[in-house]
Amino acid sequence: MKYVRFRDPAGAVRRGEFESGRVHFANESYALSDDEIDVLPPCEPSKIVCIGRNYAAHADEMDSDVPDRPLLFLKPPNALAAHGDTVTAPAGKERIDYEAELGVVVGEQCRHVPEADAMDVVDGFTCVNDISNRDDQGQEQNWIRGKAFDGAAPIGPVLATPDEVPDDAAVRSRVDGETKQDGSLDRLIFSIPELIAEITSYLTLEPGDVIATGTPEGVGPLEDGAAVEIEVEGVGTLEHSIRLP
């Protein structure tokens, strides 16, 4: 099953089923591109827990070592952007990168979750673009300027239940129609259960929180006005554009 969170023509926030390219709620049906509705991020996270260098080839292209435990950093709620949004990057930066990722949406409050039980706390999967300001990321340790600016985490357009997404699902990005990344979930260094167990050994995850599981190789810079697509097999395709002041 797939779901879309949206604002209907009356201004009410709804959660509709997504089937055959349309969002269904009650007796109404809308296309994602329908001007009558606003597609919203599929959840309202208190935080986005991101995983750095979780694909060996990406670590290599960044001239970095593969970590011996998951490399964690946070994006706050202000970083959220939705399907169809235009993300305005911080002004005056030379390199703003795309990073396609699978997002794991948490379904319940949880702490100290064993790997064997980790999938029990998962509500579903979505697409994430971990947009990165490389100018500042390279100059700071906590990556606030580099990773947590407004709109730095487009998410969506749907939440897909885990049965919709194969274990070796493709994770891709396209910029202006050209494929830039083409990875697979079976190349993750740390699996989803391992990530949930590690994260919840340190902090409580809340319903709607998102774990961005890492990006495959092929990251690169965006130009002003670029159209970005983030695709996860079994989930769908997140689309947004970028504005570089």
- Computed on alpha carbons and rounded to an integer, the radius of gyration of the chain in Å comes to 17
Structural domain boundaries, residue 28: 1-40
Is the preceding peptide bond at 221 cis, omega within 30 degrees of 0?
A: no
State how far the Cα of 23 lies from the Cα of 2, in Å rounded to an integer.
9
Question: How many domains, in total, are found in the chain?
Answer: 2
State how far the Cα of 87 lies from the Cα of 95, in Å rounded to an integer.
14
Place of tokens 């935080």: 47
Tell whether 121 and 7 lie within a shared domain.
no
State how far the Cα of 58 lies from the Cα of 71, in Å rounded to an integer.
13
State how far the Cα of 100 lies from the Cα of 103, in Å rounded to an integer.
10
pLDDT in tens, 109-135: 999 999 999 999 999 999 999 999 999
- Sign of torsion over alpha carbons 99, 54, 66, 45: positive
State how far the Cα of 51 lies from the Cα of 185, in Å rounded to an integer.
14
pLDDT of residue 144: 97
pLDDT of residue 55: 97
The stretch 195-209 carries a mean pLDDT of: 98
pLDDT in tens, 140-184: 999 999 999 999 999 999 999 999 999 999 999 999 999 999 999
Tell whether 120 and 187 lie within a shared domain.
yes
Tell whether 47 and 11 lie within a shared domain.
no
Tell whether 28 and 85 lie within a shared domain.
no
Q: Tell the burial category of 66 from Cβ atoms under 10 Å away from its Cβ (0-12, 13-18, 19+).
A: middle
Tell whether 7 and 108 lie within a shared domain.
no
> What are the start-end ranges of the E strands in the chain?
2-7, 13-19, 22-25, 28-31, 38-39, 48-52, 71-75, 80-81, 86-88, 96-98, 100-106, 122-129, 132-133, 153-160, 170-175, 178-184, 210-212, 220-221, 227-232, 236-243
Q: How far is CA 126 from the centre of its chain?
A: 6
- What share of the chain in percent tops pLDDT 70? 100
> Residue 45: which pLDDT band, with cuts at 50, 70 and 90?
very high
Tell whether 170 and 99 lie within a shared domain.
yes
pLDDT of residue 226: 98
Tell whether 6 and 124 lie within a shared domain.
no
CATH assignment at residue 158: 3.90.850.10
Tell whether 168 and 86 lie within a shared domain.
yes
Place of tokens 């487009």: 154
- Sign of torsion over alpha carbons 197, 216, 69, 71: negative
Tell whether 34 and 57 lie within a shared domain.
no
Tell whether 183 and 117 lie within a shared domain.
yes
Tell whether 67 and 179 lie within a shared domain.
yes
**Count of CA atoms in the C-beta half-sphere (13 A) of 197:** 12
pLDDT in tens, 69-108: 999 999 999 999 999 999 999 999 999 999 999 999 999 9
Show the tokens assigned to 184.
């697979």
pLDDT of residue 201: 98
Under DSSP, the state recorded for 188 is -
Tell whether 35 and 51 lie within a shared domain.
no
